[in-house]
Copies of this chain bind each other. A is one copy, B any other.
Amino acid sequence: MYPWKTLLTPNRDLPSPVYLQLANAIIQEISAGRIQAGQKLPGTRALAELIGLNRKTVIIAFEELAAQGWIELQPSRGAFVSEKLPLDRYRPIGEPASREVNAETAFELEIDTSLPILKEKPQNSINFTDGTPDVRLAPMDSLYRYCRFFARTRMTTRYLTYGDVQGEIHLRTELANYLNKTRGLRCNPENVFISRGSQMSIFLSLKALLKPGDVVIVGETSYPVVDQVVEHLGGRLIRVPVDEDGMQVEAIRKICHKETVRAVYLTPHHHFPTTVTLCADRRIQLLEYAHIHRFAIIEDDYDYDFHYTSSPMLPMASLDRSGSVIYLGSFSKIIAPAVRIGYLIAPLNMIEALNRLRKIIDRQGDSVMERALAEMLREGEIQRHIKKSLKVYRSRRDYLCQKLTSELGEWITFTPPDGGMAIWANFSPQIDLPKLASQLREKDIILDIQHNWLKEGNGIRLGFASVTETEIDHIITHMKQLISAEYKISAKMGI
């Protein structure tokens, strides 16, 4: 005998009416095999009393079930679970706990495990990242004030319906002006593609460019995210050395004589991770080689706005007359990682390729926020935020440089970067950085370790922009304690 009393606890706070809750509960039980095909249901009056419902509610539920084909109402005999349902053939495998049901697909699924799983960083820890802005400075209140303004439908509904796959036109226009004025980049709104940050710009560019087996050149040390995308797309990575003048462009030329190179990815303003700047003559050489050998230069210029001592060179894109450069920038690095808006400047045919791809991937960006950012650029709010951040980051850079020298000078060598948001620090080779990182993690301090950087001079990026001077003190104190306890003698000898 089925325990009808326990079938349902009606909940009148739910949006779905109670008769529907009842009908759905019965369907659940039928499909789970606990109520059998052909089985007679209790009478509407009896069931109503058992569950504590109005009889009319049960009648409507039964009518609903009959309309959907789950039960048959036989006049004067009552309600029966439909015989036509192929329940005898549909055998659910027992009734496992909800968690187990949901663990594995019934169909085969091959997971691309070359793509890494992102581990979330613990909350309330101090993050010595690879270089992110300080979100505590971010003009979020202003940004969302503008969002509310542009989402007001009394004004227009255009930002709330489907928008332009290439990005909101005001933002493309303001960006074209801004990039032209601040870095001599020649582009008009048609050349601007608004993405959801550099990650999407990198993915879409490489997706548009690469066929399996195509060669992409990166630095010996480089932004690991690009490696992942190239490998996922079946491309072939070739690495060239990076010295104090940036990527060795001569090495790229030599590769071009042996291989058909499709693209070179680089961050010429500050090489990632070592922060060196690509010198002027290499820039011109690289543009020339790109033109001759017909490869794309993907210039990721994520930290152009932050420079402290010398002023920045113009981006390579500003010197490109032939259409070789795909230029990337991002508001995630200017405002906050959570602001998922980046941009890409490229010739029109590249923009067309990106538009077509993007439509099937995520249709469009966030039109309201794009419109809001356009207004903040037009009003100069973004520019003021950059100036403010620049001042704060410069003093944090100076402070961290000073602290690294005075407290850890015996174990670390580094060159103060003239811009950007991180210092590239080479640790004494004896120091086991992964071990140090796990010891610091116990003290709620997070270091970003990239294993292939360790080969390059046992190096790590120390992002100074997002940490206050007090936090820098805290981090350096702990690092010094841990290092001096473990490497008292050997490390000093090693230098």
**Known contacts A84-B281, A89-B288, A340-B362: A27-B103 contact under CB 8 Å:** no
Contact status A321-B93, CB under 8 Å: yes
A199 with B338: CB separation less than 8 A: no
Query: Is B116 a contact partner of A132 (Cβ separation < 8 A)?
Result: no
Cα–Cα, bound, A38→B364 (Å)? 49
Choose the segment among A44-52, A64-72, A430-438, A475-483 that binds chain B (4+ C-beta atoms closer than 8 Å).
A64-72
Which residue of chain B has the shortest Cβ distance to A89 in the bound complex?
Answer: B288
Residues of A in contact with B (beta carbons under 8 Å apart): 11, 14-17, 19-20, 23-25, 27-28, 31-32, 64, 67-70, 82, 84-87, 89-90, 92-93, 95, 98-99, 101-109, 111-113, 115-118, 120-121, 123, 127, 132, 135-136, 138, 140-141, 143-145, 147-148, 151-153, 156-165, 181-184, 186-188, 190-191, 195-197, 199-200, 203, 208-209, 225, 228-229, 232, 262-263, 279-281, 284-285, 287-288, 290-291, 294-296, 310-311, 313-314, 318-319, 321-324, 336-338, 340, 346-350, 352-353, 355-357, 359-369, 383, 386-387
Q: Across the interface, which residues of B come within 8 angstroms of A89, CB to CB? A: 288
Number of copies: 2
Ranked nearest first, the 3 interchain pairs of A and B with the lowest CB-CB distance are A135-B160, A115-B356, A92-B321
Closest residue of chain B to A25, judged by CB?
A: B184
Chain B residue with the shortest CB-CB distance to A357: B115
Q: Once the chains bind, are B366 and A338 in contact (CB under 8 Å)?
A: yes
CB neighbours (8 Å) of A27 from chain B are 184, 313-314, 318-319
Q: Please name 7 pairs of A and B residues whose Cβ atoms are closer than 8 Å in the assembled complex, sorted by A.
A: A27-B313, A86-B285, A103-B347, A107-B209, A107-B263, A196-B362, A199-B363
A281 CB to nearest B CB, Å: 5
Say whether A322 contacts B93, CB under 8 Å. Answer: yes
Would you give the shortest CB distance from A24 to chain B, in whole angstroms? 5
